[in-house]
Structure 1
Amino acid sequence: MASTASTTVVLPAKIPLQLRDAAEPEELEEHLGQAERNYAARNPASKAAHEEALTVMPGGNTRSVLYSRPFPICMNRGVGNQLFDLDGHQYLDMLGEMTAGVYGHSHEIIRHALISTFDNVGVNIGAHTRGEVKLASLLCERFPCIEQLRFCNSGTEANLYALAIARRVTGKRKVIAFRGGYHGGVIGFAHGVGENNVDPQDWVLGTYNDEEALRDLFEANCDDVAAVIVEGMQGSGGCLPASLSFLQKIQSYASTHGIVFILDEVMTSRLHPSGLQGKYGLRPDLTTLGKTIGGGLSIGAFGGRKDFLETCDPRQSTALPHSGTFNNNTLAMEAGYAGLSKIYTPEATIALNGLGDSLRMKLQAVTKATKIVVTGIGAVLSFHFMDNGVVPSCERDIEQHAIPMLRRLLWFWCIERGYWIAERGMLSLVMGTRMSDVDSFVVVVEHFIATHKSLLQLE
């Protein structure tokens, strides 16, 4: 159970807020200032750890999404679905490592797989092992559209290699993607093409869930486009589900114009025993995977049609190069196989996502007629604070109507009460989470709404 203990503190002078929207009411500024001062006073050890980190890393950070103002919480350890920080606070992990940590932090089966592999196989032995074949076979069985696959080290790599295959088989260069989409550290489209994106001139951007514009988007660019890449639910973009008809039209137009259909299931593979492609009956040419499939270790995979994957067959003199020291590292192969075959089985997948559906529906009930809306599928969901109270369907809706400082206020509220969520509002349930955990979290949100009723009521 999450800790709800509070700490009495002497508040320091008001901490100035950065990036404040000038249009936000003074009341919100005051609540945020108070929350930030409480946070700073409650977490002196995390502050000290951050100051030490600043000496060796820019911003004291090596993973941007984990940074929080005025400093991030520094965790000491994780056990099951609980986290413990340097200041002795305990949290119920409602984030699950941004979807990758579905197994929690100390699952005995994963532990056994790692120790057994270390003792009996070795670590990264620089040769083929049976472990990679076992995991590949299991993934091909789970995802019928994946006839063959290859491993890599992350979802980012998986998408880069999938794009390379699409360009090889089509002889074309450009790629259709969608605003708000995220396909890896160098393939992101929040507010357009990211400044650090690879191939910045090769992207053709559409609007997510805009079915009416799809035909023109494909027809106007079909001569130059190699692939279309899309998430069945935009994860980092706010857990915005695509409509089934939107995905079906993408599949149809891609087939009509000889464009490779890449479904990014790096986050969404955990939402159904065979991913969203199985849930929705889609048949992508290529699928990319990561996060959950490695048993908690770094991993990626790209797979699909056998004739497409043959472009990476090293027996061919014209094969695309695909190297990577850790592609088939023994620990990730064995932990991934153990996780999917013994823990996150199809039955467990259905159960956890059913719990997530229940949480989302309960949250939608208590937030009804407020500025809070909750989106997602299964055990992955997100809070949005919309000035019109309307559920967003694309990045444009969020840009026009979101109130980001309210989302930050909720984050402070949950952290102080022992619930670990993302500052951007994302939740991702971990195995071991109980219905009682879900219900207690809903109560925390209800109390937040009651406390900040004047800020959350629709005009």
Structure 2
Amino acid sequence: MYIENGAGAYVWDADGHKLLDLMCGDWLLPLGHCHPSVVEATKTQVENGTTFCSPHTTLGIELADALQRRLPSVERIRFTTSGTEATMTALRLARAFTGRGTIAKMRGGYHGTHDVSLIANGRFQNPDLVPPGLVPGTENSVVLLPYNHVDETLRIIEERSGDLAAVIVEPILGGTGMIPATREYLQALREVTTKHDIVLIFDEVVTFPVGLHGVQGMFGITPDLTTLGKAIGGGLPLGAFGGRADIMDLTDPVLDPSTQMRHATTLGGTPVCLAAGLAQVQALTPEVHDHMDALAERLRSGVRDLATRMDVPLQVTGVAHVFGLHWSEIPVVDFESALASDRVTMSKISMGLLNEGFLMFKSAAGTVSAPMTAGDIDSFLGALEKVLTESGLARSA
């Protein structure tokens, strides 16, 4: 798809088709396209300079403060260019802090495109695929955990605790189709990592805007480090990592000029990105979150009702403003069960929805945004019913 422009909840492609945007820039735009305050803040800063290779007098502090108020676990924060850079650096920081060399991640976890993330990555249909070009030994430095399976996860972590630097987890498994972790699972991770002095990292690059305090606030679980990206930049390239002061102090050259954990980033936290991000974070008010949550629950409830009425194995996952669709007879709770979804059928459904004016990821994951209305959601559900009927997928009417 080649997109010409966007406004609010919609985009227009190169052929002039108007599409309801359920991708929102790959989760970047919970306020929709061209939100007035984000546009104004960006234009103002562009006119005052894009980047200086020195800190801006106020923007970095203001956005850091806004993020810390939402995520109290983030006692110190550093900005990056992307979520990939944030997770990559957070993992290196955990290794430096603990003196251990191994990372535990979820089967199906997606943390960007650095080497560790590409092991058992949720974007790959083959769970055992090791892509070419990784640093030799990467596969052996990663321990894989079964998402949402408490007993097996605890067994693996206990066995490997002596060489584990960190456990990194998406509290909603994004690349696999918006599968929420259970509170029990995240709490078990918190307890076992505390027991063994393992750094617990919540990757909230996608999930930060699910509420005022991210998923960690929703579940009341405090990680040691948090990685951020996407929505914190207001549509411009921005990421961040932060957390416990004693861990983050390793990146501070003022405290230790000889530190080997120096974090440098040419374009991480440039003034234009900070300005756009600050405007977006400030505009994500409780009322906006409530509106998006209500719309997404209307969508999820509507999909469930439609699946029952049409007698199809269509499942919907997600929480707050994000969702994923799956064509499967078994409950989708982890990477393996998500792989059981018929991706060919879901791809056909996504293409059918595109032809009806709804832009989604080919994987059938999506998100609502603040400019959307109940009418938009009902139109989506009507289009989904039409696609299921006309494709011959429905077993009853």
**TM-score scaled to structure 1, two decimals?**
0.80
- Structure 2, gaps ≥5 residues long: 122-126
SS in structure 2 at match of 1:377: coil
Superposed counterparts of 1:312-327, under 5 Å: 312-315=251-254, 316-319=256-259, 320-327=261-268
How far residue 267 of structure 1 moved from its aligned partner, in angstroms, is 0.4
Q: Larger deviation: 283-292 or 193-202?
A: 193-202
Alignment partner of 1:155 is 2:83: yes
- CA drift of 1:219 comes to 1.0
Give 3-state SS (helix, strand or coil) of 1:381's partner: strand
Structure 2 CA distance for partners of 1:174 and 1:104, relative to 1, 3 Å: same
Q: 1:163 deviation in Å?
A: 0.7
Give how far 1:346 is off: 3.0
Match of 1:123 in 2: 50
Where do 4+ consecutive residues of structure 1 move more than 6 Å?
none
The residue aligned with 1:346 is 286
For residues 198-257 of structure 1, give each alpha carbon's deviation from its aligned partner in whole angstroms, at most 9, with x where no partner exists: 633210001111112022111110011000000111011111111110111011111111
Q: Quick check: 1:375–1:391 contact (8 Å CA) kept in 2? A: no
Inter-partner Cα distance in structure 1 for 2:128 and 2:248: 30
**1:91 match:** 19
Aligned position for 1:366: 306
Cα offsets for 1:418-457 (capped at 9, x unmatched): 111111101111220001100111111122223344x354
Residues 87-236 of structure 1 aligned to structure 2 (within 5 Å): 87-119=15-47, 121-129=48-56, 130-186=58-114, 187-188=117-118, 189-190=120-121, 191-192=127-128, 194-195=130-131, 199-236=138-175
Q: CA deviation at 1:366?
A: 0.9
Relative distance call for 1:151 and 1:411 in structure 2 (3 A) is same
Correspondence 1:334-413 to 2 at 5 A: 334-341=275-282, 343-368=283-308, 369-386=311-328, 388=329, 390-399=330-339, 401-413=340-352
Counterpart selection for 1:330 from 271, 276, 280: 271
Q: Secondary structure at the residue paired with 2:140?
A: coil
Q: Is the 8 A contact 1:372 1:456 kept in 2?
A: no
Choose the corresponding residue for 1:444, options 372, 383, 387.
Answer: 383
Whether contact under 8 Å (1:226, 1:259) holds in the other structure is yes
Query: Match of 2:303, SS?
Result: helix
Q: Deviations over 1:389-416 (max 9, x none)?
A: x2211111133x3211111111111111
2:240 aligned counterpart, secondary structure = strand
Q: Give the counterpart letter for 2:272 in structure 1.
A: L
* Kept after mapping to 2: 8 A contact 1:288/1:301: yes
Deviation at 1:338, TM superposition (A): 1.0
Displacement, 1:164? 1.3
Equivalent position amino acid for 1:373 in 2: Q
Aligned to 1:15: none
How far did residue 197 of structure 1 move?
A: 5.2
What is the match of residue 124 of structure 2?
none
User: What is the alpha-carbon root mean square deviation over aligned residues?
Assistant: 1.5
Larger Rg: 1
What code does the residue aligned with 1:370 have? V
Aligned-residue sequence identity (percent) comes to: 30
Preserved CA contact (<8 Å) 1:294 1:335: yes
Q: How many corresponding residue pairs?
A: 380
Alignment of 1:52-91 (within 5 A): 73-91=1-19
Following superposition, the deviation at residue 193 of structure 1 comes to 6.3
Residues in 1 aligned to 2:90 and 2:286: alpha-carbon distance in whole angstroms:
26
Contact 1:99 1:292 in 2 (8 A): yes
* Paired position in structure 2 for 1:258: 197
User: Is the alpha carbon distance of 1:434 and 1:194 closer, same or farther for their aligned partners in structure 2, counting shifts above 3 Å?
Assistant: farther
Residue identity in the other structure for 1:325: T
* Pair 194,430 (structure 1): closer, same or farther in 2 beyond 3 Å: farther
Whether the aligned pair in 1 keeps the contact of 2:349 and 2:388 (CA below 8 Å) is: no
CA contact (8 A) 2:347 2:363 kept: yes
- Amino acid in structure 1 at the alignment position of 2:300: R
Residues 252 and 456 (structure 1 numbering): CA distance in 2 closer, same or farther, change over 3 Å? Answer: farther
Q: Distance in 2 between matches of 1:385 and 1:318?
A: 54
Contact (CA 8 Å) 1:173, 1:224: kept in 2 or not? yes
CA contact (8 A) 1:193 1:200 kept: no
Q: Which AA in structure 2 matches 1:393?
A: V
CA–CA distance in structure 2, aligned partners of residues 197 and 284 of structure 1:
28
Aligned equivalents of 2:129, 2:87: Cα separation in 1: 16
What is the CA-CA distance between 1:352 and the residue it aligns to? 1.2
